[in-house]
């Protein structure tokens, strides 16, 4: 079975009211662990690679590891570029065999974001590759993405329809209160997501796949174990699983897991 795109995955997920797990990978052990768990659950899977992970592990090695995972598991797997920030990076991944890319132009103006995203979409679609765009900015740190709380912004639902129509993206990452990294909420702060924004986006883009970045659930027992044996992860808080299930029952078809 060859690598697949996310298009058919998202269609089934939307209709079924569930989301696909998209896991960041950068070495053999992580790829083995994730794909073996997915095989146990007979679950479709997105493996995603950041620019930093691609530089660290080497494009060719990553491709061969993912190909091996497909042979070993027989699962439908999509290989996705996470947070591509330039046309050149996206093009390199597309030419190198990735079946999906994200172009993150959220740090640009609305018009510049559209222009950059459209450029990537035109090239990717000609090669049969799907594209994820982004509107709104998540706070937190992940790989080369570093956004302060002051610079973060929720997605404006009034912009999503125009953005999708003018860019032609296949899915859209939005900001509703998740954040990159293991520290998603302040100590004592009750986890909250802006489901009102998600609901409004769903109304304006019926049937369209939405993506949540920074959506890892940080398991408290694991944090306790890490701290007990010399690690330092004080106050690490993730997204509660009930919130992720609610998001998946709405328009969210892809949930990113890295922390």
List, by residue number, the catalytic residues.
82
Q: Count of CB atoms within 10 A of residue 45's CB?
A: 24
To which residue do tokens 């053999």 refer?
28
Identify the three-state secondary structure at position 79: strand
Name the nearest CA neighbour of 25 among 5, 4, 46, 10: 46
Counting Cα atoms < 13 Å in the Cβ hemisphere of 28 gives 5
Our separate counts of H helices and E strands in the chain read 10, 11
Name the nearest CA neighbour of 26 among 125, 108, 142, 180: 142
Distance separating alpha carbons of residues 92 and 21, to the nearest angstrom: 24
Identify the three-state secondary structure at position 5: coil
């Amino acid at each position: 079975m060859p690598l697949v795109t996310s298009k058919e995955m998202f269609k089934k997920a939307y209709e079924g009211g569930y989301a696909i797990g998209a896991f960041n990978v950068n070495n053999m052990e992580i790829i083995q662990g994730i794909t073996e768990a997915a095989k146990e659950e007979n679950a479709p899977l997105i493996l995603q690679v950041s620019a930093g992970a691609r530089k660290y592990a080497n494009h060719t090695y990553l491709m061969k590891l993912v190909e091996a995972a497909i042979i070993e598991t027989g699962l439908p797997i999509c290989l996705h570029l996470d947070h591509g920030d330039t046309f050149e990076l996206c093009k390199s991944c597309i030419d190198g065999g990735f079946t999906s890319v994200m172009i993150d132009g959220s740090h640009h103006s609305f018009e510049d974001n559209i222009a950059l995203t459209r450029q990537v979409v035109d090239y990717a679609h000609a090669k049969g590759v799907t594209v994820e765009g982004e509107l709104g900015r998540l706070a937190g740190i992940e790989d080369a993405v570093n956004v302060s709380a002051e610079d973060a912004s929720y997605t404006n639902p009034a912009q999503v329809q125009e953005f999708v129509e003018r860019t032609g993206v296949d899915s859209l990452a939005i900001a509703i209160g998740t954040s990159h990294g293991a520290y998603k909420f302040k100590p004592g702060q009750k986890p909250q997501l802006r489901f009102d924004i998600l609901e409004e986006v769903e109304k304006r883009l019926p049937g369209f796949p939405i993506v949540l970045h920074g959506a890892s659930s940080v398991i408290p027992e694991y944090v306790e174990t890490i701290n007990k044996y010399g690690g330092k992860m004080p106050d690490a808080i993730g997204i509660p699983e009930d919130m992720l299930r609610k998001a998946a029952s709405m328009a969210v078809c892809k949930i990113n897991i890295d922390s």
